[in-house]
Structure 1
Amino acid sequence: MDDSGNDWTEDVLGAGFEARTLRLPGGAEATLVRYTPDDGAALDGAAPDDGATPGVGRPPVLYVHGFTDYFFQRHLAEAVAGRGYPFYAVDLRGHGRSIDSWTVGGGDTNMVNRLELYYEDLDAAVDVITADGHTGLVLMGHSTGGLITSLYADVRPDRVTAMVLNSPWFDLRGTWLERGPITQAIYVLGRIAPRTVVSTLAAGYGRALNRASGGEWDYDLRWKPYAGFPVRAGWLAAIRRGHRKIARGLSVQCPVLMCTSDRTGRDDAEAAELLSTDAVLDVAHMLARGPGLGPDVDISIIEGGAHDLVLSPKPARDKYLTTVLDWLDAKV
């Protein structure tokens, strides 16, 4: 990674958050965000502050977002740091803070043809975190980020101390036809016409989340639009290859906590159901494939949790955060 001359600057989230560009092989860029709280930062009621100081004796947490997503969950950073774990998040190439540099270079938003490219993003992030003086690493992956972090932990066992998965994407939600024959066609199309748009996301879940349309959360709709970014053949083929690896089983050596909602919901439901079920992925897929990640996998089901458990309404949100932080305290 060529990161010479690159300094931390104030992040778009404002006071307490800093960002720096990660310069990657081939001219790509990702963005690393770190939380630098003042003493006594609030926790949003998620978990008690045990008086630990971030960076003293506890490994850093690196958060990895999903598709049509980026890091904006400041309350997650506050809760993690409040327990004494230094908090970082990465906006992968083509996502969020990293979109402009990717599209200027000719890339499609949120699009790669090989998930392995994201290993470069994570390697670069870990290098900077290590240079900050931290040892160890807790990977925290949501949805597509949960797929990427699982594959990364499998091939970089020396870099990962523990892993937390928030509704990881381990299989394609859909019919047998979509998961079988259509996937085979996607593999072919992904080779010959990778930029072909093959699907889009339902807009209801994003609308239910965003404060501008009655939800609880503020985020940038340029980086996380309600209906998402186009799903392209090359990207979906890469995802399905990742799913195939998960289905065969991995050998992740670090302890893993996988958290899911208690129910799969409809993506065309009313807001209350969209925010109290997993309206994006199939919970059954996670429960079936999670145990195959490695020898030390704990599973926690969060009643009333949304697809992004961090963005669930209370009390499910508090239950998720407390579950994760208590598990980290016990495991690392």
Structure 2
Amino acid sequence: MISSDSVEYRPDILGDDFEQATLDLPNDYEGQVVATLIRKKAAEPTKKAVLYIHGFIDYFFHTEMAEQFNQHGFDFYALDLRKYGRSYLPHQKYYNVHSLPEYDAEISEALDIIAQEGHEAVLLCGHSTGGLTTTLYAAHHPKHPLIKALWLNSPFYDFNMSTLEKKFAIPKMAAMGKRFPNMLFPSRLNKWYVPSLHADHHGEWLFNLEWKKLRYPLVRLSFVHAIHEAQKEIHQGVRLDISTLLMYSHQTTYPRKFNRDAQTSDVILNVKDMVKYGKKIQGDVTLCEIQNGLHDLVLSEKPVREKVYAELFSWLESKGL
């Protein structure tokens, strides 16, 4: 366990009272590993905090979300996981993971730091692959003294493929990924998603296009293996002992050219899978559909994300947080 006295914060790239600290982690199959803890404290002292985990090909840049939590009395923390964003090291392959529990080290260390900084209640949050990771972290750490609730933003509970592909192709690719982790396979990620977000294209957000790339046509089979193993556990039905809010868009679409669908729907994952497997989670789970939501709901158009925050903070209040 790291001592909070040894955590050295410095100004973050986001400015405006955002700070970051590097977490040194045990070496892995690529050598040196670090993660980055970002924080923004609320105006008044509080014992409540948020820990946010980003998705695949992503990093934390969501200043509005942090400010929303600050305004509602939460200190805000986020992780850039190993090999992502601020945590990427030159000798590493971007986003390279062989098993999602690899991320438990930085999540656990971040929670230890949050506890040592005087917090007694944490809302754990995850988007997309981060939603899958945080669901399993909560399931594997029941009765955690700090985690009091879980917020899932479009969790990656299944591959967005046909039934036949999911039944036959994915298990075969996952098995190959265990033996040949660096083998590449077409990602099939919709090419309009990131352009729908970035201010230089069709969106309103500024972020680093090296860290959150416009296109990512090929994915390592190690990632397919890691996700498949994690999703198998979700599909069997995990138990959570904390209240959980699962949010998702009202529809999934597959735009081949840029159009209104790219700005009003989930073009990455199938929202029906989120509902299907969300209902299999044992425990207090609330499902919340967001009309015209993007895959990352808090990056949707302003009226849509205002609805996201209204639903979220109403739910948190109902749970005593």
User: Normalized against structure 2, the TM-score is what?
Assistant: 0.93
After superposition, what is the alpha-carbon deviation per residue over 1:67-90, rounded to whole angstroms, capped at 9, x for unaligned? 000110100000011000111110
Aligned-partner SS, 1:161: strand
How many angstroms apart in 1 are the aligned matches of 2:6 and 2:16? Answer: 23
Shift of 1:121: 1.4
Report the equivalent of 1:126.
111
Report the equivalent of 1:42.
none
Structure 2 gap ranges (5+): none
Report the equivalent of 2:85.
96
Contact 2:2 2:109 in 1 (8 A): no
Report the equivalent of 1:153.
138
How many angstroms apart in 2 are the aligned matches of 1:174 and 1:211? Answer: 30
Q: 1:31 to 1:249 in 2, by over 3 A?
A: same
Contact 2:98 2:181 in 1 (8 A): yes
Shift of 1:249: 0.4
How many angstroms apart in 2 are the aligned matches of 1:232 and 1:118? Answer: 17
2:56 is the alignment partner of 1:67 = yes
After superposition, what is the alpha-carbon deviation per residue over 1:91-132, rounded to whole angstroms, capped at 9, x for unaligned? 1111111112xx42xx32111101111111100111111111
How many angstroms apart in 2 are the aligned matches of 1:229 and 1:148? Answer: 23
Report the equivalent of 1:83.
72
Report the equivalent of 1:20.
21
Report the equivalent of 1:298.
286
Contact 2:190 2:254 in 1 (8 A): no
Shift of 1:5: 4.5
> Which ranges of 4 or more aligned residues in structure 1 deviate by more than 3 Å?
1-6
Shift of 1:195: 0.7
How many angstroms apart in 1 are the aligned matches of 2:307 and 2:182? Answer: 40
Shift of 1:269: 4.4
How many angstroms apart in 2 are the aligned matches of 1:301 and 1:202? Answer: 22
Q: 1:230 to 1:110 in 2, by over 3 A?
A: farther
Report the equivalent of 1:164.
151
How many angstroms apart in 2 are the aligned matches of 1:99 and 1:267? Answer: 31
After superposition, what is the alpha-carbon deviation per residue over 1:18-55, rounded to whole angstroms, capped at 9, x for unaligned? 00011112242110000135x4xxxxxxxxxxxxx3x4
Q: 1:62 to 1:149 in 2, by over 3 A?
A: same
Structure with more strand by fraction: 2
How many angstroms apart in 2 are the aligned matches of 1:116 and 1:246? Answer: 14
Could you say what the CA RMSD is over the residues aligned between the two structures, in angstroms?
A: 1.6
Contact 2:186 2:217 in 1 (8 A): no
Contact 1:109 1:229 in 2 (8 A): no
How many angstroms apart in 1 are the aligned matches of 2:251 and 2:165? Answer: 22
Q: Which shifted more, 164-173 or 221-230?
A: 221-230
Report the equivalent of 1:324.
312
Report the equivalent of 1:262.
250
Report the equivalent of 1:198.
185
User: Normalized against structure 1, the TM-score is what?
Assistant: 0.90
Aligned-partner SS, 2:139: helix
How many angstroms apart in 2 are the aligned matches of 1:30 and 1:327? Answer: 30
How many angstroms apart in 2 are the aligned matches of 1:217 and 1:229? Answer: 22
Alignment of 1:159-238 (within 5 A): 159=144, 160-200=147-187, 201-228=189-216, 230-238=218-226
2:265 is the alignment partner of 1:277 = yes
How many angstroms apart in 1 are the aligned matches of 2:241 and 2:256? Answer: 39
Shift of 1:267: 4.5
Report the AA paired with residue 284 of structure 1: K
Report the AA paired with residue 125 of structure 2: M
How many angstroms apart in 2 are the aligned matches of 1:142 and 1:303? Answer: 17
Aligned-partner SS, 2:130: helix
Report the equivalent of 2:10.
9
Count of aligned pairs: 312
How many angstroms apart in 1 are the aligned matches of 2:263 and 2:124? Answer: 25
After superposition, what is the alpha-carbon deviation per residue over 1:127-170, rounded to whole angstroms, capped at 9, x for unaligned? 11111111121111100000000000001123321000001110
Report the equivalent of 1:31.
36
Report the AA paired with residue 17 of structure 2: G
Contact 2:23 2:106 in 1 (8 A): yes
Shift of 1:2: 5.6
How many angstroms apart in 2 are the aligned matches of 1:210 and 1:34? Answer: 23
Percent identity, aligned pairs only, is: 34
